[in-house]
Structure 1
Amino acid sequence: MIFEKLKTEIETILLDNNKSKDELLLNICELLEANIEYYNWVGFYFKNGDKNELKLGPYVGEPTDHTIIPFGKGICGQVAVSNENFVVPDVAAQDNYIACSITVKAEIVIPIFVNGENVGQIDIDSNTPDPFTEEDERFLEFVCAKVAKII
């Protein structure tokens, strides 16, 4: 399965002490986007200091205007408040969705916890309707747990 292979590659990326945190995160984004056909935009958002908002970190995919997202707004903002995974099979069916691109059909957001605190999240958009499975969730939880160790 592709996820098992990617887990090893993610662990290898994170062992590179010669790169900055942002470079490592970008390498993870690039790896996921290149290897999982339905991952069309992959990025990280992090809590913006003491503000109740998220700030865009490293990402790959179409440029986005959504560099700051208030807590509670959009899928990412909701995850910042709920502290729970959010899988959206059809973004058009979501009232509180921030459209990044008309090509996006589905989204998955998984929080990153450090010492029990939600410090950020990985956000993935897909141009494929309803592509995300429980395997994606478990895999992305693994990615977030590994990323939490370098933050």
Structure 2
Amino acid sequence: MNTDILKKEIDNIISSDNKTAQKLQAICDYLESEISYYDWVGFYFKNGDKNELKLAQYTGEETEHVIIPFGKGICGQVAVSNENFVVQDVTAQDNYISCGWKVKSEIVIPIFVNGENIGQIDIDSHTANTFSSKDEEILEYICKKLSQTL
């Protein structure tokens, strides 16, 4: 994974004149097409004043998990912990919401605006033990860049 090339393209997407929803969709599509083991890429955001996340833009198989309560599943846990969550083997997690039998690993990185966790980027992979520090690096970069425009 060449993070420099990925960061440059992410910068181009974020600095474009497109609306936020279009930028988020472009990021999902780009990551899914460029990183072979990113099989589902999506954004969840806090749903108003409710203690739940709502699915925004994504690419990959459809999911029934449009609303996720805080604390439930990997995404819901990140909404509470405010920390990155890398799961190399989803079967080892007690508090995991299955999005499909093909998903073997997941990484979720929070997005902060003015110190508040407003959402997250969520990646599912059909490959177990696939995520590395480079994945965290590029996803943290994306979340930091997005936080400046959201």
TM interval, shorter chain, is: over 0.9
Aligned: 1:83 with 2:82: yes
**Separation in structure 2 between the aligned mates of residue 139 and residue 28 of structure 1, nearest angstrom:** 12
AA aligned opposite 1:29: C
List 4+ stretches of structure 1 deviating above 3 A: none
| SS across alignment from 2:138 | helix
Q: Secondary structure at the match of 1:13?
A: helix
Q: What percent of counterpart residues are identical?
A: 63
TM-score by length of 1: 0.98
Matched, 1:2 2:2: yes
The alpha-carbon deviation at position 120 of structure 1 amounts to 0.2
CA distance in 1, matches of 2:4, 2:124: 21
How much is the aligned-residue C-alpha RMSD, in angstroms? 0.7
- Measure how far apart 1:148 and its partner are: 1.0
Q: Match for residue 109 of structure 2? A: 110
Provide Cα deviations, 1:14-41, integer angstroms capped at 9, x if missing partner.
1111x21111000000010000011000
What aligned pairs does 1:53-68 form with structure 2 within 5 A after superposition?
A: 53-68=52-67
Distance in 1, matches of 2:103 and 2:85, equals 16
- Asked if 1:93 is matched to 2:92, the reply is yes
Consecutive unaligned residues in structure 2, runs of 5 or more: none
User: What displacement does 1:2 show?
Assistant: 2.0
Q: Match for residue 133 of structure 2?
A: 134
* AA in 1 matched with 2:9: E
The CA deviation at 1:110 is 0.2
1:4 CA drift (Å): 1.2
What one-letter code is carried by the residue in structure 2 that aligns with 1:78?
A: Q
Between 1:69-78 and 1:137-146, the stretch displaced more is 137-146
* Shift in Å, 1:145: 0.4
**How far apart, CA to CA, are the structure 2 residues paired with 1:20 and 1:36?**
24
What is the alpha-carbon distance in structure 2 between the residues aligned to residue 149 and residue 104 of structure 1?
31
Cα distance between partner residues in 2 of 1:30 and 1:148: 19
Residue 81 of structure 1: how far off its partner (Å): 0.1
**What's the CA shift for 1:135?**
1.2
2:75 partner SS:
helix
Aligned mates of 2:2, 2:23 — CA distance in 1: 20
Which residue identity does 2:119 align to in structure 1? G
The alpha-carbon deviation at position 149 of structure 1 amounts to 1.5
Aligned to 1:149: 148
The 2-side partners of 1:55 and 1:149 are apart by 21
Q: Deviations over 1:87-109 (max 9, x none)?
A: 00000110000000100000000
Unpaired segments ≥5 residues, structure 1: none
Q: Deviations 1:19-68 (Å, cap 9, x if unpaired)?
A: 21111000000010000011000000000000000000100000000000
